[in-house]
Each structure stands twice: as C-alpha cells, then as structure tokens.
Structure 1
Amino acid sequence: MMEVVQMFNKKQAKNPGFCYSFELDGDNKVRSLFWTDVRSRMMYDICGDCISFDTTFLTNRYNLLFAPFVGISPHGNTYLFACAFIINETKETFAWLFEQFLMAMGGKHPTSIITDQDKAMQAAIEKVFPNATHRSCLFHIKKKVEEKVGPCFQANEGLYEDFQDIVDNSLTVEEFETQWQEMIEKYQVHHIKYFNDMWENRKKFILVYFKDKFFPFIQTTTRSEGTNSLFKKGVGAKFGATSFLKEYDRILDVVHDREEECDHVCRNKKVAQKAFWSKYNIERQAHELHNIGIFRKFQFKMADTTRMHVFEQEKDKYYIVTQAENDPMKELRKRLYLVQVGLKEEEYSCICCALQKDGLLCSHILRVMIHLNIEKIP
C-alpha cells in the first residue's frame, strides 16, 4: 500500500485533479481505497446524472472488492467515473465510499442510481444520496426467478410468457398491479414465496415505477459488469494493488480515447445521404442536433414507426398509437399508447415516458408527428 501511496502522490503532483482517499482501521491498516482522475471528474460533471454501481468482482490478493462507479457518456458509451477497493459490503463501508465519491465530484449528487439488490448498499444510498432515485437491477431479479420458480413455469403453460410481458411491458402502475394479481389468481401460484417477495419489493425494480425517471439507455447493471470484465482480462485474484492500478490506467486511456475518437468523428464526418432511413425532414434535423451515436438510436426509433398505426381521438390533441396488424412480432397483449399533443405550445408527451427516461423521442410521438406532417421537432 505504500507503493500505492507513492503512485498516487506522483499522479497528483503531475495532475492536481487526481483525487484519492484511504479508509484505515485502528492498526493503521488500509481497509478501503478510493480514487478518480481529472478527466473522469470532468465527465461526471457533464453527464453524471445517472450512475451504475456494482461490487461483484474480487480482484486482488488482499480479497478486497472492486467497486467501479460507471455512467453513460454523451455518445451513449459506458464511462468510468471512479474506482475503489472496499473491505466488505456493510452500510458503513458503502457510506464512507459514497461520501468520498461525493467530495471528489464537487458535491454533485447523481439523479438516479442502479445497483444490484443489496440492503446495506440501499441504506447507504438513502443516507448519502437521499434525493437520488435508486432502483435495483431487474436482470438479476429475473435471473433468480428462473432459478427459484423454474419448475413452476414448466408446470404452468403460459405463466412464463405472462410474467415476462407484465413485468417488461406494463404501461402504467395500475396495469401492472392489476395484471400481476390476475396472473397469480389465474395460475393459482399464491404459495410461491418468490412471487410474493417480488410483489412486496415491486417498487424497487419493476420498470413501470421508474418509467419517468432518468435512466438513459440503461435497464441493468450490465455496464458495471462489462467494466468488471475489462479488468478481469488484465488482472486476476493474485495481482497486487499496484499491478491493478497500472491496468486501470491502461483501461481508462482506452475509455477516454474512445470518447475523443467519437468527438472527432462528430466534428469531421457526416452521415452519407444513402444512410438516412427516411425522406422526413425531422430525421435530417436529428442528424444536425445529435452526435452520431445518439442519432443511430434515433434512427432505430424512426424505423420502428413503420410497424405502427395511429388513430385520432381528438383532433390536434389526443392520438392512440398501436401495433400494426401485419407486424410479424405479435404482442401478447394489445397495448394502446396515448400521445398528447399541444401544437400551439409545441409540446408532445407519451404514456411510455421514453423521452423522460432516455432523453430521446419515442417512436409513438414520432409516428404522430409523421401523421400530422410535422416538419420540425420542437
């Protein structure tokens, strides 16, 4: 650890924006270690509204847990804001770590946090980031469902499909809660403990409870796990802290270089005319407004409009968007997407709330814009 201190002091002397801190025990031994560099701190200031945090990777000979703070860059890429080694997964350790993170980031709190299902972590987040929206990773919970409820799914034909549809596609809280209870009653699975546990904790992870919260292009902690896998390729459980930190420098350079390359492409290259999906002016406008990474996501939304029908409920005010009958990907339940329009105010909203979650217009609003011959996105 003295070597680590020397490395960090050299980094700080070379770049004053480098920041680190240790947590020591009563014998002056290192319990936990936190660090971040100036580029990561600058990026967090720009796009640190949403972070993913996960501690699944034992990475060194001291059996310290690796804990990266991960976010989404302006190009939609995974970005590494900070890293830590922590001694355990208690509320006190997490609280210390989150406080160090907050100080390093100039006191800027994240708006939203996604983590695995850990009670100590949740308690620390409530203490240090009391105003942040915290949700648990749905992927891990559904993985446990398949492990614990697998025989029940096999014994009840249609239960698995119903479960997936209700959890993933419910448009309102009322729809989810009604359909869930009907599912439990239909298949007579009141006795399945894991279903009961999911119902009790539903507000911590079910997507519909977070549909209007800012979680851009992120549903799970896979971005954190992807960061873990990058480190696993270069270092293993027998490596010391100094070896790990050298690998951290290499990986961080890769992350920064990728962003700089994306910036360069956006400044100097344009999408070829043949690469435009449609003839609509709003697609050209989106190309001018968004960088290429985000524009590609926008194009996916545009292409999705071809599988939809739009019905006027009240002229220039309310529209219903549904899946087209000839769409080969059939829905388990037919869903109606209500789009509200204010032409004078140039305001659009959809029941799916994708604009609030991702910051991009959903395909339902785009479909109504096309229907109304809107030439320009407000």
Structure 2
Amino acid sequence: MSDEEKCLIRVLKHTNLETRRIVAVLAYIRGGMAHLPYTKKHVTNYAATINRDIANSDMMEVVQMFNKKQTENPGVCYSFELDGENKVRSLFWTDMRSRMMCDICGDCISFDTTFLTNKYNLPFAPFVGVSPHGNTYLFACAFIINETKDMFAWLFEQFLMAMGGKHPISIITDQDKAMQGAIEQLFPNATHRSCLFHIKKKAEEKVGPCFQANEGLYEDFQDIVDNSLTVEEFETDWQEMIEKYQVHHIKYFSDMWENRKKFIPVYFKDKFFPFIQTTARSEGTNALFKKGVGAKFSATSFLREYDRILDVVHDREEECDHVSRNKKVARKSFWSKYSIERQAHEMYNLGIFKKFQFKMADTTRLHVFEQEKDKYYIVAQAENYPLKELRKRLYLLQVGLKEEEYSCICCTF
C-alpha cells in the first residue's frame, strides 16, 4: 500500500465512505481487483488506525472546526456543556444563515430527538421549522448527554442566546414530560402542542382490542378527532361517543380527554402552526442525517455531514427564491376565475400559492347549505355532487343572490 493510497484512504474516510467502496476506488485506480496487492482486510485495518486517531482527538478537532468556522464567518455560534472534569457532555451549534432564517420564520419550531447518529450514543436534537416556501428548514442542532428537564433547559437557553432572545410563538414536540417542563420554563408564552400522529398511534396500540370489539368506534374516534369544526362540537361528540360505546372504563380515553387541549386540532385553529400538525418534519430531518452517518461515526464526521446537508437545505431555498422571483403561473394554470385566486397569486410566493390553490380546489368536495339566514350553515362532503351545481350554490352564497335571480345573470362557472 503506497503512501498516496494511504492518504487517499484517509481522505475517503473523512467523507464517511464505506470500506467496501474505498476498496472499489483503490481497485479502479490499480486497474482492477486482480492488480490490487493487498486485501480488503488490510484496508479495514488501516481504516481502524485512522478511526483510533480520530477518537483520540475528536473533540479537539470539533473545537478547531468551530473556531475555523467562526474566523471565516463570525455568525457561527456554538457552545459546550461540561462535566466536573471539563469533559464535553453536550454540544450546541448553528450558523449565520440558519440564524437569519430563524429570525424570519422561526415563530413555529418542531423539536424531537433521535439516537444512533454517533459513536457516543448521544441523542441528536435538531431545531426544525418551516421556510417561507413551505420547506423544512434546519435552525440549529445539538448533541445532548440525556433527555432530562435540566438538559433540555440548558439546550433551550443556548438556542435563545444564539437567536438573539427570539422566542418561538408555537412549538410542537412528542409527549416527553421533561421536554414539556423545560418548554414551560424557557418558552412560557409559547403555545406547546403534542404530536397528533404519535398520540393516535399510541391509541391504536393501547385501545386496539376495544376498537375491534366495538364496530364503528374506531371510525367515530378518527372523525371526531380530525374533523370537529368547533370546540363545542368536539367535546359534545366525544362524550356522546363514550356513552354510545360504553367505554368509560378505558383509561387511555380518560387520559386523552384530560390532555385534549395539547393535541386535538380544533383547539389550535387560531394558533400559528403552518403546514404542521406532527413532528414529521423533525423525523424527516433525523432520517436524512441517518442516511449519511451512523452509530460508529465520530463527532467530526457528523459535522461534515451536517455541513453537506445544510448546504443542500440552503441551496434548495435559494432556488425557490429564484423561481418565485422569475416565474409566474400561466393564466391557463389558474383553477378558477375567482378574484381571490389572482390575489393569492400576487401576494404569495410560488410554493405557498400552489398550497393555497390545492386547498381552494379541495373546497369543491364540500356542499354548503344555509340553514339560517346569515347565521347557520351546513357543510357536507360532495364527492358525488355535480361540480357545476356546487359552484353555482357557492356563488349564490357568496354574492347573496336568490335561486331565481341566478338565471337572470350571465356568469361562467
């Protein structure tokens, strides 16, 4: 194995390339596996030596990496949490672009932790939000020693300092009690919401036999949780469901009722949670990192992967900015002739306008009846209702015309 090949192996290890792929590269350079004068075992042994070198100086390298970043970009911010022997227990970091984006759109934060991203088995904790184009954005990251209230309090404090004291308006997490306690302490004015997906999934696990024993209970449960339009409707229908199926004895239903204001969608209709009801954006970010790093990777390897992913996130947002500045939706792509659609096209960027357009088109599934004049309306699913007739009825409600007056005007639907 030549010195040049050893140097190449070291470089490829720093890019987190697997040993079998490194061997393939070396074989290609030599002209094929038959011309390689050493085996995969030799490469593995040399790679292990490199890993030991990294392990012995890992945190020192991390400090050097951050110091270099701060020299090149003063906006980089990082902090360590140390134990009594000055050993690193936890690490928080962010960069200038992420801090600027958090200042613009950091009012809503999704926060979750995950494991198996580094050889120290430290939980990885990214702060995730929604960008102006509706994409997932990474505001900051951390490794933490454990998931206690004190640890989360330290982490949230570092986040506040890095973001210039900007508090989120709303934050969504799983049902972790330590996390909840730290949020109440550090973000006292934020609306804290629990992940709806995890709660419903846990309900299926805890109450599965009860769902199976009571035909219709599962469907009513899903409908009441997802589709209630008012708090009164939800609370009335929930109690009727409990009575109808006689499930007073099911503890999980009682727990859900006591904590209903933490996760039921109808309680958050006037709160700021843009395109987000679950921690799916956090879980998607965690999965993205796990594609490039794993439980055997050092902190320096992880940070290199973080830089790569962050560049992709920033580039995607810049591309969306460019498209929104230079591209308009063709008139033939408008869904309707309503003025509100054209107003939305003028006010929103392209990504948000397409989301608006989808929701507007989705209203054709609904059939609206005015039960009491200017007071009480009935909204029903209208999958089988004639589209032309539905648009006509919506128009009548909008402009206040009577049925007989409608035929007297010229109007295109």
Q: TM-score range by the shorter chain?
A: 0.7 to 0.9
Letter in 1 for 2:203: V
Indicate the SS of the match to 1:371.
Answer: helix
Structure 2 unaligned segments of length 5 or more: list them. Answer: 1-58, 386-390, 401-413
Distance 2:301 2:215 in 1: 52
Instruction: Kindly report which structure 2 residues correspond to 1:171-186, keeping only aligned pairs within 5 A, or say none.
Output: 171-186=229-244
Letter in 1 for 2:276: I
2:219 equivalent among 161, 184, 188: 161
Please give the per-residue CA displacement for 1:245-267, whole angstroms capped at 9, x wherever unaligned.
00000000000000000000011
The question of whether the paired residues in 2 share the 8 Å contact of 1:310 and 1:371 is answered with: no
Shift in Å, 1:368: 7.0
The question of whether the paired residues in 2 share the 8 Å contact of 1:310 and 1:319 is answered with: no
Shift in Å, 1:63: 1.0
Distance 2:92 2:395 in 1: 49
Please give the per-residue CA displacement for 1:245-300, whole angstroms capped at 9, x wherever unaligned.
00000000000000000000011111122211112222122111111110011111
Q: Which residue of 1 aligns with 2:246?
A: 188
Flag as ranges the 4+ runs of structure 1 deviating above 4 A.
311-315, 367-370
The question of whether the paired residues in 1 share the 8 Å contact of 2:115 and 2:121 is answered with: no
Q: Which residue of 2 aligns with 1:337?
A: none
Distance 1:42 1:87 in 2: 28
Instruction: Kindly report which structure 2 residues correspond to 1:279-290, keeping only aligned pairs within 5 A, or say none.
Output: 279-290=337-348
Please give the per-residue CA displacement for 1:307-363, whole angstroms capped at 9, x wherever unaligned.
334445777x54625125x4249xxxxxxxxxxxxxxxxxxxxxxxxxxxxxxxxxx
Distance 2:253 2:376 in 1: 36
Q: Which residue of 1 aligns with 2:336?
A: 278
Shift in Å, 1:217: 0.5
Instruction: Kindly report which structure 2 residues correspond to 1:187-336, keeping only aligned pairs within 5 A, or say none.
Output: 187-312=245-370, 318=375, 320=377, 322-323=379-380, 326-328=382-384
Instruction: Kindly report which structure 2 residues correspond to 1:1-378, keeping only aligned pairs within 5 A, or say none.
Output: 1-312=59-370, 318=375, 320=377, 322-323=379-380, 326-328=382-384, 371-372=398-399
Distance 1:254 1:170 in 2: 39
Distance 2:397 2:338 in 1: 8
- More strand per residue: 1
Query: Cα gap change, 1:201/1:242 in structure 2, threshold over 3 Å: closer, same or farther?
Result: same
Q: Which residue of 2 aligns with 1:350?
A: none
Identify which range, 205-214 or 219-228, moves more after superposition.
205-214
Indicate the SS of the match to 1:22.
Answer: strand
Larger radius of gyration: 2
Query: Cα gap change, 1:147/1:39 in structure 2, threshold over 3 Å: closer, same or farther?
Result: same
CA RMSD of aligned residues (A): 1.9
Identify which range, 14-23 or 173-182, moves more after superposition.
173-182
Query: Cα gap change, 1:369/1:256 in structure 2, threshold over 3 Å: closer, same or farther?
Result: farther
Shift in Å, 1:162: 0.5
Distance 1:89 1:31 in 2: 12
Indicate the SS of the match to 1:23.
Answer: strand
Indicate the SS of the match to 2:189.
Answer: coil
The question of whether the paired residues in 2 share the 8 Å contact of 1:32 and 1:85 is answered with: yes
Shift in Å, 1:148: 1.3
The question of whether the paired residues in 1 share the 8 Å contact of 2:113 and 2:124 is answered with: yes
Distance 1:9 1:280 in 2: 55
The question of whether the paired residues in 2 share the 8 Å contact of 1:170 and 1:208 is answered with: yes
Distance 2:396 2:169 in 1: 30
Q: Which residue of 2 aligns with 1:356?
A: none
Shift in Å, 1:220: 0.1
Distance 2:172 2:66 in 1: 29
- More helix per residue: 2
Indicate the SS of the match to 1:57.
Answer: coil
Indicate the SS of the match to 1:33.
Answer: strand
Query: Cα gap change, 1:59/1:292 in structure 2, threshold over 3 Å: closer, same or farther?
Result: same
Identify which range, 194-203 or 98-107, moves more after superposition.
194-203
Indicate the SS of the match to 1:62.
Answer: coil
Shift in Å, 1:197: 1.4
Distance 1:242 1:78 in 2: 24
Shift in Å, 1:302: 1.8
Distance 1:49 1:368 in 2: 36
The question of whether the paired residues in 1 share the 8 Å contact of 2:195 and 2:278 is answered with: yes
Could you tell me the percent identity over the aligned residues? 85
The question of whether the paired residues in 1 share the 8 Å contact of 2:371 and 2:378 is answered with: no
Indicate the SS of the match to 2:207.
Answer: helix
Shift in Å, 1:168: 1.0
The question of whether the paired residues in 2 share the 8 Å contact of 1:310 and 1:368 is answered with: no
Query: Cα gap change, 1:118/1:368 in structure 2, threshold over 3 Å: closer, same or farther?
Result: farther
Identify which range, 296-305 or 237-246, moves more after superposition.
296-305
* TM-score, length basis structure 2: 0.78
Query: Cα gap change, 1:137/1:310 in structure 2, threshold over 3 Å: closer, same or farther?
Result: same
Q: Which residue of 1 aligns with 2:12?
A: none
Structure 1 unaligned segments of length 5 or more: list them. Answer: 330-363, 374-378
Please give the per-residue CA displacement for 1:11-69, whole angstroms capped at 9, x wherever unaligned.
00000000000000101111110000000000000001000000123311111000000
